[in-house]
Amino acid sequence: MPLSQITSKFQNYAYNDNKIISQYLVDLKNNNQLDSNNLEIQAYLLPEILVLLKKAVLNRFSTDLLFQKNYWSWGFVTLYYSNFYLAQALNRLKGNFFLRFNGIKNIQLDSIDNQYKLITTNSSNTHTKELTKLRENYTFLITNDNYRIAIPDDYQVRPFFNESKVRNDINYTLYYYKEFDNKFCENINIFQCREDYSTYNLTFDEFKLLQINNSRFDLIFELLDSIKKDNEVFEMKFDSFLNTLSDNMIFKYDNQYLKYIENFFRENKFHISSEIVHNQFKGYL
C-alpha cells in the first residue's frame, strides 16, 4: 500500500479545531444525534493529529533536556510518551484509532462506504492496544527500510521488543533511577548513556526507544507534508506550526557559544537543543 492511499482522503477534509472528537461525540449523544455507523468527524481529525504531534515534539524536547542534564531514567520514560503520542497520531491518519468516549472506543474508517464507525472494544491495556493497532495499520511498512523500526513488533511472536514494558521497567522496578550513583541503571553508567546519545552507538535496549522515535517522526512528517500539498487550510495550519518550531528551536549559528548568545536574546523558545535534536528537526522544516 503506498502512503498516498492514506493521505489522499484528507484533501477534502475541512479543519475544525473548536473541539476534540470525543467531545463532539458526547455532544451528539446528548442531543440524540449520534449515528455510530456514520460519524462525521472528518473536520476534527487533522486538528487532533496536529495536537498529538505537538505533544510528541514537546516530549522529545523534554527528553533532550533531561538527557543533557543526565536525568536518563525519566528521560527514557518521557521519550516513551513521545513515541506513544506519535502512535496515536499515525493511527488517526490511517483511520483506525482509539479514543475515550464512555470508556475506550475504536473508530474505524469503513473502506466500503467510506464512513467512520464507532466500535466497542475491551478497554484494558490501552497502551498495548494502541501500539498493536499501529502495527495492524502499518504492517505494509515492515519491509520498508526507512520506516520498519517505526512499526511495533508482533507481541504474539517471541522474542519481541515491547515499548510499554521498557517504560514500566524503568519506572516501577528498583533497577533504575541510579543517577545519584552516577548510573542510569544497575549496569549502565551515565558516561555510557552520554556516549550513546552523542554518537548513536545504541549499545543497550533502552536506546531503541530513540530509534523508534526518529523513525515515527520521519513517517508522520512525510505523511503531513503530503497532505498539506492538497489541503490549503491544513497547509496554513501546518506551516504555522513549522514556523513556530523553527523560530523557537532552530539556531542561526552552529557555534555553541553563539547559540547561547542567540538564546539569551530570544523569547518563548523551547531550549538550546543538542546537535542531535537540532539536526533532526531542521530536516523537517
Domain ranges of the chain: 4-282
Query: Does the pLDDT at position 250 exceed 80?
Result: no
Q: State how far the Cα of 122 lies from the Cα of 240, in Å rounded to an integer.
A: 38
Can you give the pLDDT at residue 19? 93
Mean pLDDT of 268-272: 70
User: Which residue is listed with cell 533532526?
Assistant: 280
Alpha-helix residue ranges (DSSP H) falling in the chain: 4-7, 21-30, 42-68, 72-94, 126-137, 163-172, 190-199, 208-228, 232-249, 256-264, 275-282
Instruction: State the residue for C-alpha cell 550513583.
Output: 181
> CB–CB of 116/41 below 8 Å?
yes
Residue type, 267: E
For the cut 80, the answer to whether the pLDDT of residue 114 exceeds it is: yes
CB 87 within 8 A of CB 221: no
Query: How many angstroms separate the CA atoms of 1 and 7, rounded?
Result: 12
pLDDT band at 204 (very low <50, low <70, confident <90, very high): confident
Q: What is the pLDDT of residues 44-90, one digit of tens each?
A: 999 999 999 999 999 999 999 999 999 999 999 999 999 999 999 99
Per-residue confidence (pLDDT) for residue 52, from 0 to 100? 98
pTM (predicted TM-score) = 0.94
Instruction: Give the pLDDT band of residue 163 (cuts 50, 70, 90).
Output: very high
Question: Terminus-to-terminus CA distance in the chain, angstroms?
Answer: 26
pLDDT of 209 reads 95
Higher-pLDDT residue of 204 and 172 is: 172
Give yes or no for residue 263 having a pLDDT over 70. Answer: yes
Which grid coordinates are listed for 129?
492496544
Please say whether the beta carbons of 153 and 162 come within 8 A: yes
Please answer whether residues 55 and 161 qualify as being in contact, where contact means their C-beta atoms are separated by less than 8 angstroms: no
Q: Which of 204, 132, 194 is nearest to 164 (CA)?
A: 132
In this prediction, residue 78 carries a pLDDT of: 98
Q: Is 29 helix (H, G, I), strand (E, B) or coil?
A: helix
| Average pLDDT in the chain | 91
Q: Is 28 exposed, middle or buried (0-12, 13-18, 19+ CB in 10 A)?
A: middle
| pLDDT at position 256 | 75
The angle that helices 42-68 and 208-228 make with each other, rounded to 10 degrees, is 140
What is the pLDDT at residue 268?
66
pLDDT in tens, 122-144: 767 789 999 999 999 999 999 99
The share of the chain scoring above pLDDT 70, in percent, equals 98
Of 5-9, 71-75, 118-122, minimum mean pLDDT range: 118-122
